[in-house]
Amino acid sequence: VVAVACISNNGLLVFDTRNKQFPRLMYQDDSKEGTQVWATTYNNTAYAFFAATDQRVLIYNLTAAQNLAATGCLDNSPTSILCKDPQNNRVYVGKISTQSGAAYLHGAGDHLAISQGFLGIEIWRVNDPANPLRVAKFTPPGISAGVALWQDGPKHYLAVVQVANVSPHNVNIYDVSCITGTGTCTPTLVKTFVATYDAPSTILFVTFSRRSGTPYLYLGNEDQFSGGPQREFLLDVTDPTAPVDVTPHVHTGGYWGWYYAGNSTGFNWVMPRTAKFHGNHLYRAAFSLFDIHEFRGNVPPAASFSVGTQSPDGRFYSGDPITFTDHSTGFPTSWTWTFLPDGTPP
């Protein structure tokens, strides 16, 4: 099942994707606007949490939507709530009453982080979706945009984008482990990652995913026209107090810059918003592009070669052709060699 957040007042859509060739539109909650939705499962029931801007955060039972008796059921919550499955479970569950509208959200485990611009961040415990409970509220510096919440063992961390149209572009990382307790939770700032670039646009989105267990944050934006070598970042946050940008820096125009409309090699309308790892590949949604990037590690190449000859006895003779096979690791991009002692052949 897939939940889709829509702009242009089209609300939330839910698709039954059990048949991958013929997905079915099962449900729509109309007359709402939003750009982010987070889905998870509690007690074998799938739920979606929709950041519906001025209508706060709306909650939906995706399992009920998937099991509706007919496709295309239409709600217009909260005034018209008609859609139920055969067991009488409503698709529309309710609302999280944040202090203001929300444009960005992300969850992990039992918790959901919600960004509300200059009013800051709220974190809610949502494992009982019909009865959400606010467990933290705080105000990071400036205006908050995208958020990413993740868990490492007993620790919980939250990344918050700070809006800025000029450098520095800050992403603040907090230890929010106190959200699992019963008392007042005051998050602790553990690191501010500072991104710099010349384009007159802000980072807006932060996306969390893992590659082989390693946690990563991808930082994206809505700049469609600028050039430059880089305005998106891929951070290894194994140590949240010391995030590392693993973007390759071997290309003069920038690895990401090759795609930007403002550069000679780029494409129109490239807007690198979000990206996630699946296995060793990073899947990036960039508005006019959906592309896939292979992670090749961030360690220097190590040279290794074997040599062979065509002579029957396996020995090397003057004038015979020989072959070299490259066994180097670390994905080298260029090769040079020298033959000693006299440099022959070249």
Residues 93 and 67 in one domain: yes
Better-predicted residue by pLDDT, 178 or 333:
178
Average pLDDT on 134-139 reads 98
CA atoms within 13 A on the CB side of 41: 6
As a whole number of angstroms, the distance between CA 221 and CA 205 comes to: 6
Residues 92 and 233 in one domain: yes
Read off the pLDDT of residues 32-55 as tens digits, 9 standing for 90 and up: 999 999 999 999 999 999 999 989
Residues 146 and 233 in one domain: yes
Confidence (pLDDT) at 44? 98
Residues 45 and 98 in one domain: yes
Helices (H), 176-228: none
Mean pLDDT of the chain: 93
As a whole number of angstroms, the distance between CA 182 and CA 160 comes to: 24
> Does residue 341 have a pLDDT over 70?
no
Residues 198 and 341 in one domain: no
Q: Which of 294, 309, 335 is the last residue of a domain?
A: 294
Residues 71 and 194 in one domain: yes
Q: Which of 260, 278, 294 is the last residue of a domain?
A: 294
- pTM here is 0.86
Q: Report helix, strand or coil for 251.
A: coil
Residues 217 and 152 in one domain: yes
pLDDT band at 267 (very low <50, low <70, confident <90, very high): very high
As a whole number of angstroms, the distance between CA 304 and CA 327 comes to: 5
Q: How many residues are there in the chain?
A: 346
Residues 91 and 212 in one domain: yes
Read off the pLDDT of residues 175-187 as tens digits, 9 standing for 90 and up: 999 999 988 899 9
Average pLDDT on 166-180 reads 98
* Number of neighbouring beta carbons within 10 Å of residue 265: 11
DSSP 163: P
Residues 335 and 254 in one domain: no
pLDDT band at 303 (very low <50, low <70, confident <90, very high): confident
Q: Report helix, strand or coil for 225.
A: coil
Residues 307 and 290 in one domain: no
List the domain range (segments joined by +) for residue 23. Answer: 2-294
